[in-house]
Structure 1
Amino acid sequence: MSDWKQSFLESIQQGVVEGVVKALDSQSTTHGGTAPSKIKNDAIKLLRKTNSDTLYPLILQLCGHENPTAQEVGAICLTDFYRSQSSEVNRVLYRLADSDNWEVREWVASACGLVLEKHFHDYFPVMAEWSRDVSENIRRAVVLAMMYAGKSRNPEFIDPFLDILEPLLSDRSRYVRDNLGPFAIGNALIKYYPTQVLKRLDTWVNDEDEQVRWNIAMIFSAAEGAKFAHESQQVFDILSSDERPYVKKAVSKAIKNISKRTTGS
């Protein structure tokens, strides 16, 4: 066993959070400032194997620590306690989802996706509330959580997910929009639930809000979204008739991407 793992385990057993953080921090890179994903995932596995009454308090301390690696590892492990500690888990994930650190926000969005997948009926109302939050970080976390949970391909999920995402199509925040149409839907949900997503596009495209139409066009600028362009001719006809520069630019990008993948050039 590597030295950092040995120190990590000993600190867990002793319930010493600073020792846990020190072990993680010893693996941080100068480039990212945090430990590599492999190290964090190994740490998560070690924590999950721990059978101790002090584990939950220790994970809360990790989430509350100033060290970003500790927060990332803590957030993922915290999801294991959702059934018994839902209120506290919600509060902690909310706080971390609005972190100033972009990498922490990424890991927390993934944690939210885990909770959403495992505790859909309990957590979905939380996501609905977050989707209306004043913070763009929180709204963006909702978008990514649904993308991550959507990978399960659970047919029960998609219609409620699309219901929540629909109002966000008009969200003007760049941080939200860049992760919605071209990423969460275009590279994920349309792949996992093509029939349901394409059906929604037929409805959504009739909304004349230019941000909504931008998001729809940008779905097809993504690798997975481009595969469904031939099934969306009616959507493209409406988008292509929109003369507003913001929409036209998105449509042009989508067409270019579709053409590239069709011709292979």
Structure 2
Amino acid sequence: MLAKLKYQFELFLLALSFFSRVPVPANLPYSSERMNQSGRYFALVGILLGSLCAGFYACAELLLTPEISIFLTMVLSLMLTGAFHEDGLADMADGIGGGMTVERRLTIMKDSRIGTYGSSALIMALLGKYVLLTAISNFISLIPVWLVGYTLSRSVASSFIFNTPYVSDSDTSKSKPLAHKQSYSELAVVIITGLIPCVLLDGYLTLVLISAAFLFRQLFKRWLISRLGGFTGDCLGAAQQLMELTIYLVIVIFAQNGLPVMGVAW
């Protein structure tokens, strides 16, 4: 029993090392099989990162304005993840925006340099987060919002592994080794973990977020297959960023129209 728990904890640490700059033991076992199995904990990493950002924001807000606290928390988030997902968004935008064929798009995405499409996507994503989070802070506490945004978005992004073709060549990709297989049970863990923070929200809002997540996944998957034939690691990073923005946008719509947002008192 202890050996099984230790193995699962090592898988979580492997997922943590993949998604963040949080230190993990240097002797952490690695194999392609473990990398694939660690995908079940990608959303759990979101809970950890979301909790760290929420805690930091709560402390910052005691001394600073909400706007400054949001900015500093976004900086912390970039430091915790090494801008990993933002890099994926920028690379995907460059590749799909600048390439006329699938082969050319994949080649551009593997280039570490950032172009106009990537720069524009990155700037708009960061600006969008700041604007949306600032708007939300005028109505409700951002503490549960960080948790939901970070966790549900990673759940949706990692779910693409389940039934979307993997098209990147791991031998030439500049990205870290990526999980590209997912069983039904692992998908279930990802989905359940992604929904856990949603208990903090109003039930109707949760249903709308789930619907938005499902719709986003279907449309984004179809778009990726039409442009690339499947997904790469950069595409998963882009999916996380776009889904996170979608979550904040839905919450803003609810808050500004006087609809219930929170399921518990904050």
Interval of TM-score (by shorter of Structure 1 and Structure 2): under 0.3
The higher-RCO structure (CA 8 Å, 6+ apart) is 2
TM-score for the superposition, normalised by structure 1: 0.25
For normalisation by structure 2, the TM-score amounts to 0.25
Q: Which has the larger radius of gyration?
A: 1
